[in-house]
Amino acid sequence: MRLLSPENQPPPLTGHDLYAGNRPLAEGLRRAAPWAEERVHALGVALGGDPLEWGRLANENPPVLRSHDRFGNRIDEVEFHPAWHSLMRLAIENGLHALPWREPRDGAHVARAALMLLAMQVEAGHACPVSMTFSALPALRATPDLAEEWEPLLTSLEYDPGLRPPHDKAGVLCGMAMTEKQGGSDVRANTTVARPIGGGEFELTGHKWFCSAPMCDAFLVLAQTPEGLSCFLLPRVLPDGTRNAFHLMRLKDKLGNRSNASAEIELVGAWARLVGEEGRGVRTIIEMVNHTRLDCVLGSAALMRAAVEQATWHAAHRVAFGSLLSEQPLMQNVLADLCVESEAATLTSLRIAAAYDEPGQAPFRRIATAIAKYWVCKRGPAHAAEALECLGGNGYVEESGLPRIYREQPLSSIWEGSGNVIALDVLRAIRREPESLEAFLAELDPDLRPAVVDIEEPGARRLVESLAVAFQGTLLRRHGAAEVAEAFFARSGGVYGTLPRGIDFAAIVDRHTPAR
Ligand SMILES: Cc1cc2nc3c(=O)[nH]c(=O)nc-3n(C[C@H](O)[C@H](O)[C@H](O)COP(=O)(O)OP(=O)(O)OC[C@H]3O[C@@H](n4cnc5c(N)ncnc54)[C@H](O)[C@@H]3O)c2cc1C
């Protein structure tokens, strides 16, 4: 028996290598993008040091709205703790917002996904502007002139915060503003109006109910023109250095994601340029949304891994009733089940990311992103709750970091399409692009392919869940550890920790316990 502390408290999990300890991730990266191993590993090592503390500080010192200066002039700024800026700088310098655009080569999206999976473990909030900046470029490419102008700035490895004209900056960030009070999922209900002023330029007037990372340099915004809902690029600072009429009304008091700011904004004749075709705004911005949906999957998987690290570490150092928790059969069952979920989510993330590397996989990507977003993000909150309980009372205390994960997890299931909306989107894909379902089914092991695909609306969640589980089972058979795949197929479908006897719990837990 290892009794490491007389008080029976585990040592803090710091100074560890987040990458090397994450075997499913390291194995997946080696398969798809071995050229990126060194840099992903370097980030994994770096994240185990000071960034853990930056994450805590950024979460505990949330951003503050500064609507006016001391003389009463509108400034519409948000002030962040220095720890937030440190996290952002690390992410941007490592190209988490741009790697595949800067280095379009085989496995580039997988390499970036691996970097994101690591960074989001430390603090998920800062992934929001990173993800939106990454995702904006594919949408912006609908208007090549705009893309050409903005691409060098959006893909720069310099983090250059502060509101200044884009051409005076070494790098910029981009957000998005679609959701209005009257509708988030149903953006057709948008009432923000865009008035043409000539030359592809417009003035936007309206209110947006959720606009995250409002200190970004530009936003893709949906607004109505006579032709219908259209997409616009709206900079915060105008080319002449004056501020655009983009007013921050208040910041949301959120359940989690507290390091990041999410604002309500008012546009009062704000200057913007059309992106893509007028009246085809949803089609234009969906390019951005699909990439951020991928990042929702990565976010949930990253937080599962962070939770597994903490739970397995605690159990390996805490004694109850005379032996380590990690050696007690029922705790092993719970931990193993949590590890299986994490491995399945990691493999899912990497497979979906890989589909973004190959143009020929567009039909698969279309449906698989939605299926993975639905399932992996839905599994997050229950996973966090169970991992938290593994730490007992300590898990309920902020300092453990588990409450932060627990509060963050529901978010990725809500934004970029909530559960029902995503499930219905899968049905839409099946109806309108049947080749996407064919591509997805072809990916599954034959014995896991559903005999019938019921596309009645009330059954949408059931269908998507069954497709997602078949997909994860296939991936685990192909790439997971044998004992993990065996456990996956033996799950009861109830709460965690109900795996049957005969599963090699210890081997599964050992595979996932962080090494230090
Ligand atoms: C922290 C945070 C940050 C955000 N940041 C941004 C941002 O930066 N930019 C931005 O544009 N938006 C942002 N959002 C908004 C987010 O994308 C929306 O909240 C989300 O899309 C859901 O829209 P809604 O809130 O209007 O809910 P609704 O659309 O009203 O949906 C409510 C519920 O009804 C369900 N539902 C909807 N339609 C159907 C249907 N046909 N059948 C069955 N069920 C249905 C949904 O799944 C959901 O569960 C943010 C949200 C949060 C929480």
Give me the mean pLDDT over the 41-70 stretch: 98
328 lines ligand 1 (CB under 6 A): no
Once rounded to an integer, what is the mean pLDDT over residues 498-503? 97
Q: Of all residues in the chain, what percent carry a pLDDT higher than 90?
A: 96
H/E stretch holding 198 reads strand 193-198
**Percentage, residues of the chain above pLDDT 70:** 99
Protein residue with least CA distance to atom 17, ligand 1: 415
Element (H, E) at 463: helix 460-479
Per the CB < 8 A criterion, the answer to whether 423 and 374 are in contact is yes
Ligand 1: does its nearest atom lie under 6 Å from the Cβ of 5? no
Q: Which of 216, 255, 291, 415 to mutate to test the pocket of ligand 1 (most atoms within 8 A of CB)?
A: 415
CA 182 to chain CA mean position, Å:
25
pLDDT computed for residue 4 by the predictor:
65
Task: Indicate the DSSP class of residue 68.
Answer: E
Helices (H), 318-433: 329-355, 362-390, 402-414, 419-432
Least Cα distance to 512 among 390, 391, 343, 350 occurs for 343
Element (H, E) at 39: helix 37-47
Q: What tokens appear for 196 in the block?
A: 């043409």
Instruction: State mean pLDDT over 42-49.
Output: 97
Residue 502, φ and ψ in degrees, nearest 5: 100, -15
Residue 414 CA, ligand 1 centroid: distance in Å: 6
Q: Which atom of ligand 1 has the smallest separation from the CA of 415?
A: 17
pLDDT (0 to 100) of residue 114: 98
pLDDT digits (tens, 9 = 90+) for 211-252: 999 999 999 999 999 999 999 999 999 999 999 999 999 999
Q: What is the mean pLDDT of the chain?
A: 97
Q: Is the pLDDT of residue 3 over 60?
A: no
Closest CA to 84 of 49, 51, 40: 51
Q: What's the Cα-to-Cα distance from 182 to each of 178, 188, 207, 423, rounded to whole Å?
A: 11, 10, 10, 21
Residue 323: the pLDDT is 96
Average pLDDT over residues 161-180: 97
187 lines ligand 1 (CB under 6 A): no
Regarding the beta carbon of 257 and ligand 1, being less than 6 Å apart is answered yes
C-alpha 201/C-alpha 313 separation (Å) is: 56
DSSP letter, residue 244: P
d(CA 134, ligand 1 centre) in Å: 21
pTM for this structure?
Answer: 0.98
Distance between CA atoms of residues 32 and 22, nearest Å: 16
Cα of 411 vs centre of ligand 1, distance in Å, is 10
pLDDT tens digits for range 79-128? 999 999 999 999 999 999 999 999 999 999 999 999 999 999 999 999 99
- Residue 1 pLDDT level (bands cut at 50, 70, 90): very low
Phi, psi of 161 (to 5 degrees): -75, 165
Burial (CB < 10 A; 0-12, 13-18, 19+), residue 491, is: middle
Q: What is the pLDDT of residues 134-149, one digit of tens each?
A: 999 999 999 999 999 9
pLDDT band at 451 (very low <50, low <70, confident <90, very high): confident
Q: Which of 130, 178, 182, 185 to mutate to test the pocket of ligand 1 (most atoms within 8 A of CB)?
A: 185
* Band of residue 288 on the pLDDT scale cut at 50, 70, 90: very high
Which residue's CA lies nearest to atom 44 of ligand 1?
A: 420
Q: In whole angstroms, give the CA distance from residue 244 to residue 234.
A: 8
Residue pair 21/309 in contact by the 8 Å Cβ criterion: yes
pLDDT category of residue 452 using cuts at 50, 70 and 90:
confident
Q: With both helix axes pointing from N to C terminus, report the angle between 108-122 and 50-60 in degrees, rounded to the nearest 10.
A: 60
Q: Which residues in 140-179 are b (16+ Cβ under 10 Å) and which e?
A: bbbbeebbebbbebbbbeebbbebeebeebebbbbbbbbb
Q: Mean per-residue pLDDT for 386-409?
A: 98
Which tokens sit at 477?
Answer: 């058979």
pLDDT at position 5 is 83
Q: Which whole number is the average pLDDT over 407-418? A: 96
What's the pLDDT at 312?
98
CA of 374 relative to ligand 1 center, distance in Å: 14
The tens digit of pLDDT for each residue in 298-336 reads 999 999 999 999 999 999 999 999 999 999 999 999 999
pLDDT at 493 over 90: no
Whole-number Å distance, alpha carbon 210 to ligand 1 midpoint, is 9
